[in-house]
Structure 1
Amino acid sequence: MALPYLKNEDGVFNLYVDGIPFIALAGEIHNSSASDLTYMQQKVWPNLRGLNLNTVIVPVYWELTEPNQGEYDFQLVDGIIEQARKENVRLVLLWFGLWKNGKSSYVPGWVKRNDETYFQAVYQNKGTSDTISPLCDEAIKADATAFRQLMAHLKKVDSDRHTVIMVQVENEIGFLESDRDYSDMANDQFNLAIPDELGVIFGKTGTWKEAFADDAEEYFMAYHYARAVEHIARSGSEEYPLPMFVNAWLEQFPWNPGSYPTGGPIAKVMPIWKAAAPTICLYAPDIYVKNFMEVCEEYSAGNGNPLFIPEARRDAASVTNVFYAIGKHDALCFSPFGIEDFLAPPEDFAEYDMGLLMNLNIDFSAFDVRGSGPYLARSYELLGNMTGIIQKYRGTGKMTGFLQNLEPGCILSFSKYDLKITYKIKQEGKPVSGGLVIEVADNEFILVGVGFSVEVLPKRGVPSKTGYVRIEEGAFIQEQWVRGRVLNGDEAAYGFAVGSFPSALRVELY
């Protein structure tokens, strides 16, 4: 059977797994959880079983894979794959190699101890960083060799099962606390002419500074990180060509490169990454910021990139985001971070260093998981049972999503009717309003989501009235609608509503 692959079908991207379109209702585990199989067995998998996940996003560590140069140990990888098969979920693997969150903390000890061969990026004041320079060819070659071995091993143990469906190359790449690397190697390269492929894309010539002025430093780093990742990804893809992607730590206040990892695949440098790293199939935002809709727009198919969210906020207010991402932007993945906490007892929640979050300018509320688990589990249950109907309407214009913002509601326009959506008042610790709507026929709609009321209106300028034939609560079970209550009387006198817990309605109109 064919490997998992990504396909652009008339402007809509689909991820095919075992020949069938697949949407990852996922969660990413904590950074260190997968370093011990017993911990996974006792502390992770039991807490995931009630969440209705179909995919788990799991790190693979270079330092544990190649503890001594040229000696490889894949016991952890094999164990995680075996555990995932028993749990009947797919895996997306994160290669924690040269770079993770702007640092090089996951490289093996033999790399850390040899800083002459594997040299670090340098700050403008000549201070040495904890980040290996993206211009260090020897480090890139070493990472690429290890990644090739990993992919060859996956081919050996998983090519017949496809438990692993995608691989992320590195994690939140970039250089923190500086606009670029000021090592001698980087300084020499910065003063050279820009690469020909960038000259063609941007219509520029000259040195980096001459061509890109105030953006020169960030564009320079983006090119060299992308070039390094291409070498690593291509090396692995030659062995086993699973879809490979990179993720982005997004721009954030005060918006200058270095306050976020400079050179990472943020939206504005995506053209550079695409030119320098053609093996990478998509660019994935880690969305902890509050402007979720804006980020989805930047990273969606309208910009030639399928929306894939490998890390998302953990707070209850953000649980609704999955409906919007899939309904509005045909997202291929939604995945809150630290997923093993969502249904864990409070005493098992991971502790976060608030000082660290403050130093990194990360919103504390993004990591507050209290109350999120039951909402996410229900959202995933509803969506997981209707992925077939979602696939049917992707890209047709008959499916959309909506999400509460500063407005009191929105108007959604369909072929014969307009739907007036009114959001419920926001409540602390509760999901915001939002959902997904599918026009399954001219007079029939499916609505799934949280916290909104609906009034059906005739099309603007059309002199007619509208009414309800039937309003049903219910859910899809194995892609078939199974109704619950039929709403009428008081429950339908002034429109109809979806309550504060994720639920679904089928509405027939006249």
Structure 2
Amino acid sequence: MMLQKCQWPMKKTIEIKKDEKGFGTLYVNDEPFLILGGELHNSSSSNLQYMEKQVWPRLKELNLNTVLLPVAWENIEKEEGVYDFSLLEELIFQARREKMKLILLWFGLWKNGESTYVPGWVKRDSGRFFRARYKGGELSQTISPLCKNAVKADARAFTVFMKKLKDIDAESQTVLMVQVENEIGFLKSDRDYSKEAEKQFRSNIPEELEKIYGISGTWSEVFQSDAAEMFMAWNYAQAVEYIAAAGKRAYELPMYVNAWLNQFPDRPGNYPSGGPIARNKKIWRNIAKSIDVFAPDIYLSDFEGVCKEYATEGNPLFIPEARRDPVTASNAFYAFGKYGAIGFSPFGIEGLMEDTRQKQDKELLEQLQIDVLAFTSIETGKYLKETYKILKNMQKLYFRFKGTENIHAFMCRNEHERGTIVSLSGCDLELTYRPKGNERPGCAGMIIEENESEFWAVGYNTDIRLLPKKSSHDCITIICLEEGFFDNGKWSSGRVLNGDERSMSGFGQYAEVRHYIYCKETTDEKEG
């Protein structure tokens, strides 16, 4: 089905705005938009019939509003200079029919540290499009970021792709953002050892880096033990900037790059060396200025630590890939509540209603130092759909207080942590974490204060008790405690909890919402 072209020029209506705290919010037609997303498996979107039969039907009950799916360079430019966008057009049509927004992942020169999604004519011409080499000269499957011919070819294709998006989608705004490449970096080596790379690595660092770091010298002199990784970060960031800038000149949508995170054993090459991990962000932020968001793919257990690393220096937090086990359903509350994330997206979303414990390639995951549970769905979908349902329906309240002191988030960080105290305007909350297993969400959630005597609580596996403020002599009295739900922003009351139910208030293994109204009065006796 051919999509109708849009009339142009028109007002730019998709953008990321930042508040004074650096929190970012995605706006569509000047309205805030919360990305409740899911990323498809890599090959799902390569076939329309597969999407119709195996993907869209599985997404209906998950309460998503956005799907992240790849667009591969090899599928749109099979012959050099000849472009075929029929697949892209049909994917956008399907998304519109399903009333779903899209984020498109440009699988161009680099995907997971290799160059497997480039067209056949690129793969066959290793002279024109030379590949990175390992130490000793062994050839890799990764086209070198120093290869200008390859970067220019990718940029040309990406520009045509973005022009096409502008023609067919600028008015309907089905596509919200574009990811440039995927988990960029060089695997199995700290750096490229090709002839071209060796020559550049022995030279002084570029003048631009001299200005950024205030020092000159060779790569090894300036960066010492981190020289190889900084060398790759510079070259990848330059290449991505060239590609992204060309695409934005065609159609100015928000763009981001995602990161395969470093982890134990923390040596570049065990993860893609030179990618936009936290310690490389100074180079990436200064060089790849056309990139709006640097986004972590979070499969590690230290969810809070990763969020903290990326929600800094004005970088909006966006999590395009997240764990597939049930804990991801509770992590979403923490990402939105604590760090004002613009979006959250578990990987392999079309399979989250299944139990995949026996389907994982454990040997491969162990080689990549990845926790098997991070890629294992234990009926995760039944929990995530409840999280997304709540967030979708209470987002008016959320956006009213986003970026203020009225929103609080909590999360159990390890099995030894028993709970936490959250300080509100009029009282303190004693949150006690309930025991849980691997097949349940974590103990997490968020609190939104309506005013000094009223708040909303949402979360998993946590008990709540109201306390007077520390060192005060106040008496806290609960006026009303009710369960219920939001429906398109409007609160609908359920049971009013009292008696034993009040003393045992909290959340179980499924996400729940509670509404509290309370008052306080001092118990101090006045003299005289």
The TM-score normalised by the length of structure 2 is 0.94
Equivalences for 1:58-137 in 2 at 5 Å? 58-137=69-148
Shift, 1:181, TM fit? 0.4
Which of 449, 467, 475 is the equivalent residue of 2:459? Answer: 449
Alignment of 1:158-177 (within 5 A): 158-177=169-188
Q: Which residue of 2 aligns with 1:341?
A: 351
Are positions 1:197 and 2:208 aligned together?
Answer: yes
Matched with 1:417 is 427
Rounded to whole Å, the distance in 1 between the matches of 2:363 and 2:146 is 32
Contact 1:148–1:239 under 8 Å retained in 2: yes
Shift in Å, 1:325:
0.3
Residues 470 and 508 in structure 1, CA contact (< 8 A), matched pair in contact too: yes
1:482-501 to structure 2, matched below 5 A, reads: 482-493=492-503, 496-501=505-510
1:34 aligns with 2:42: no
Is residue 247 of structure 2 the alignment partner of residue 257 of structure 1? Answer: no
Aligned to 1:54: 65
Of 402-411 and 333-342, the range deviating more from structure 2: 402-411
Amino acid at match of 2:51: M
Distance 1:486 1:439 in 2: 19
Q: Is the 8 A contact 2:418 2:432 kept in 1?
A: yes
Q: Percent identity?
A: 48
- Equivalents in 1 of 2:496, 2:343: separation in Å? 33
SS in 2 for 1:10: coil
Q: 1:149 aligns with which of 137, 160, 184?
A: 160
The amino acid that maps onto 2:455 is F
Instruction: Give the alignment of 1:219-298 within 5 angstroms.
Output: 219-298=230-309
Which residue of 365, 370, 373 corresponds with 2:378? 370
Secondary structure at 1:252 match in 2: coil
Query: Quick check: 2:407–2:447 contact (8 Å CA) kept in 1?
Result: yes
1:385 to 364, 383, 393: 393
Q: How does 1:470-485 map to 2 (within 5 A)?
A: 470-485=480-495
Residue 5 of structure 2 corresponds to none
RMSD across aligned C-alpha pairs, in angstroms? Answer: 1.3
Deviation at 1:200, TM superposition (A): 2.3
Corresponding letter in the other structure for 1:7: K
3-state SS in 1 of match to 2:128: coil
CA–CA distance in structure 1, aligned partners of residues 487 and 12 of structure 2: 28
One-letter code of the match for 1:435?
Answer: G
* Structure 2 equivalent of residue 508 of structure 1: 517
Tell me, yes or no, if the aligned pair for 1:341 and 1:350 is still in contact at 8 Å.
no
Which of 319, 337, 341 is the matching residue for 1:309?
319
- Report the alpha carbon displacement of residue 383 of structure 1 after superposing the two structures with TM: 0.4
Q: In the alignment, which of 13, 24, 28 is matched to residue 3 of structure 1?
A: 13
Give the paired residue count: 506
The one-letter code matched in structure 1 to 2:507 is V
Structure 2 spans left out of the alignment, 5+ residues: 1-10, 520-528
C-alpha distance after superposition, 1:197-238 (max 9, x if no partner): 222222221111111100111111001000000010011111
Distance 1:191 1:439 in 2: 57
- Find the aligned partners of 1:158 and 1:189 in 2 and give their Cα distance: 42
Give 1:346-357 correspondences, 5 Å limit. Answer: 351-357=359-365
SS at match of 2:132: strand
Out of 385, 398, 404, which is 1:396 matched to?
404
Contact 1:197–1:275 (8 Å) recurs in 2: no
2-side partners of 1:343 and 1:422: how far apart? 29
Deviation, structure 1 residue 303 = 3.0
Distance 1:57 1:319 in 2: 17
1:293-337 deviations in whole A, cap 9, x for unaligned? 00000011x332111000000001221000000000001111000
- 150, 156, 168: which one aligns with 1:139: 150
Of 179, 193, 198, the match for 1:182:
193
Is 2:307 aligned against 1:326? no
- Runs of 4 or more off by more than 3 Å in structure 1? 349-352
Matched AA of 2:30 = G
Indicate if the aligned counterparts of 2:299 and 2:323 stay in contact, CA closer than 8 A.
yes
- Aligned residue for 1:257, secondary structure, equals coil
